Amino acid sequence: MDALEFNGTISAIRGSVVDATFDGKIPPLRSVLKTGLHQKIVLEVADHISTNKVRCIALTPTAGLARSDIVSGDGTTLMAPIGDGLTGRLFNVFGNASDGRSEPQNVTYQSIHTPPIQLADRITNEEIFETGIKAIDLLAPLEKGGKAGLFGGAGVGKTVLITELINNMVSSHKGVSIFCGIGERCREGEELYRDMKDAGVLDNTVMIFGQMNEPPGARFRVGHTALTMAEYFRDQKEQDVLLLVDNVFRFIQAGMELSGLLGRLPSRMGYQPTLGPELAEFQERIASTTRGAITSIQAVYVPADDLTDPSATHTFSHLSASIVLSRKRAGEGFYPAVDLLQSKSMMLSPEVVGQNHYDVAREVQRALAIYEELKDIIAMLGLEELSNEDRKIVYQARRLERFLTQPFHTTKHFTGMNGRTVPLAATVEGCARILNNEFASINEASLYMIGDTDELEEINS
């Protein structure tokens, strides 16, 4: 298309929604228009209202915009940079550098709206993605090339867990890591950038942020910018990609804000009627091929700790592993606050993890489930009223709960405790030894916030 093929004027402005009228043909859906002083305000066409009128969402603040202002575009969509100059840099939704350095070199630009790869080109992987976090590796192992979600309400440790996963995996991960912050606090983004720089892993990482203070249009599209970069490394560089997203709920929330502004009727609990297709369009682009894999770990805020909320239930359906964080466990001091009974993974089968790991994980879940059922009886009648068999299971479960805690590297400046990264084999062995009552004579508090059981033997030797 010729440059500036579409020229029109603004006819209405309602916050982040702008209507524009054109004399000739109207620009296609999802194309970008520019307006305002020095064409600095960027709009994306969301609806065709009539034969000469379009409704747009603003990707930048609309302050200073007025009716009759000129709006123009060339019919192209929002573009994301791709190329060797991306690593070690921090970008916004437009692909502009936000780290105070010059714009990246050796990059080309590609539309952020690309279809997911064909089903015939996808591969499924039966390889475990080890994290070094005991509770996750044992009970909800992650799939290499799969999608995992961290579900939890406010303040239960989603972002802390994501940063610990970055710390544990980016240094050992052979491919490229991409961190996408959707609706992040400005402080969190700045701290994460500084921490990764200090840890020496920034050179193999790309960071993209659409922060909390940005318009909903920018927050809604920043995930697609990150996916376009991830697809470049997977398809053209043939590398494995670790994609970390914090937070998928903010992507859904931005879509909800835009839906209301565009005048669409809300669906259940006020969410946008297009929630399912919008989330599917985002999630289906995260896939593995013979050339490379995109492994995604996504934090998902759960409103009011309600896992039946539409935002959570729609997200569950796309994931191969769901790690649920529990406010109750956080309140009891068990960190990471992983709900050991609600967290699950499709990878937890004998064919994938091996019979020994599977059997130990099932026995751990059985002991914890029985303990959960007996808690009311213990609270009313006391531990003494239980049968010897039940009492033995309770002692095992309490030791397992404490063993599946561990200090994090990224929280050392808060806790004063050195972080632990525990190999999967050591986690399985430690739980098997607890189930075999090897530590029955040791105080259960000794198992709290340690790495593997070798530490326990060192303490007691």
Total count of residues recorded for the chain: 461
At residue 316, φ and ψ (nearest 5 deg) are: -50, -40
Q: Which residue has the tokens 């929280």?
A: 411
* Residue with token string 């075999």: 436
143 is catalytic: no
Determine which one of 44, 184, 257, 401 is catalytic. Answer: 184
Alpha carbons 205 and 209: distance in angstroms, whole number? 13
Taking Cα atoms as reference points, which of 407, 335, 330, 329 lies closest to residue 371?
329
Q: Is 3 exposed, middle or buried (0-12, 13-18, 19+ CB in 10 A)?
A: exposed
**Alpha carbon of residue 92 to chain centroid:** 17
Query: Concatenated DSSP letters for 321-336?
Result: EEEEB-HHHHHTT-SS
Token look-up 């550098």 returns 97
Tell me 443's DSSP state. -
Kindly give the pairing relationship between strand 41-50 and strand 32-35.
antiparallel
Per-residue b or e along 116-147, where b marks 16 or more CB atoms closer than 10 Å to that residue's CB: bbeeeeeeebeebbbbbbbbbbbbbbbbbbbb
Q: Is 185 a catalytic residue?
A: yes
Q: Which of 101, 185, 328, 362 is catalytic?
A: 185
Q: Which segments of 236-354 does DSSP mark as H helices, in order?
A: 248-261, 275-283, 310-316, 327-331, 350-353
Find tokens 């303040």 and name the residue.
155
Catalytic hit among 89, 134, 147, 158:
158
Identify whether 144 is a catalytic site residue.
no
Q: Which DSSP state fits 121?
A: G
| Cβ–Cβ < 8 Å for 183, 219 | yes
Report the DSSP beta bridge partners of residue 81: 109
Q: Which residues are catalytic?
A: 158, 184-185
